[in-house]
Structure 1
């Protein structure tokens, strides 16, 4: 029965993959056009800002102002990137902890029938399960120590 459904399932999967690939190609073409036009607009915007600043402050000062603004934006974007990367790493660590505990639970449930059949393994497993359950219940989060040196008394 499954051999009869295999061609149907592969054709459905291939059709979905083909649609996804064509959608990705179309999106890539449009995003490339958008990026090129945005780059051209940004260049002309910077040129107009340079002209306005050059009329008011002079050529050297206007170039320095635009360069300073560009570096300031770059530093701001870098800081935002680092903050978002740290948050993503934290979420990934939490997800890995949850996945590990789920995997261990599944492994324990899969091994439970074999342990329950054997009286010797059951006698060995009961204290191990009790100890691990107790350690999970009593595990507390570590807190950072409070730093009292910044209270402002020793200025």
Structure 2
């Protein structure tokens, strides 16, 4: 990374290639197959934009893992906001393990929250309701819904940051 920061194009290309392989494996275990390439590309762009923040006195791995984890959280939020299409009459049986794992991860993360926080995040961030609509459904004030979302997302960030990266 140090050579890449100093402007050596060949070193930078090799580094990005190695990072790309690691990121692909990282996201394959955490996201549906159709979202892996997008997550890798978004992460590589973030690395490119933030490469000046890397301090060579510290290991590269944790820096890379932190950026990857942040992009993973972004992808989970994106997945949660996608509208659900109606299921076709005949479903093709294929490799759906990754999407099941992603849904399971999201559900287990929400289970770690207080019920009001999980419900507010589920309605607003996952199902796409406005804060006002969620307020009416939950029976809390708009400010209470906002507070539950803020505190719940902060708690999720803490949980995810404490989650070890298994290679």
- Could you say whether these structures have the same fold, taking a TM-score greater than 0.5 normalized by the shorter chain as the test? no
Higher helix share: 1
User: Which structure has the larger Rg over C-alpha atoms?
Assistant: 1
Q: Which has the higher contact order (CA 8 A, sep 6+)?
A: 2
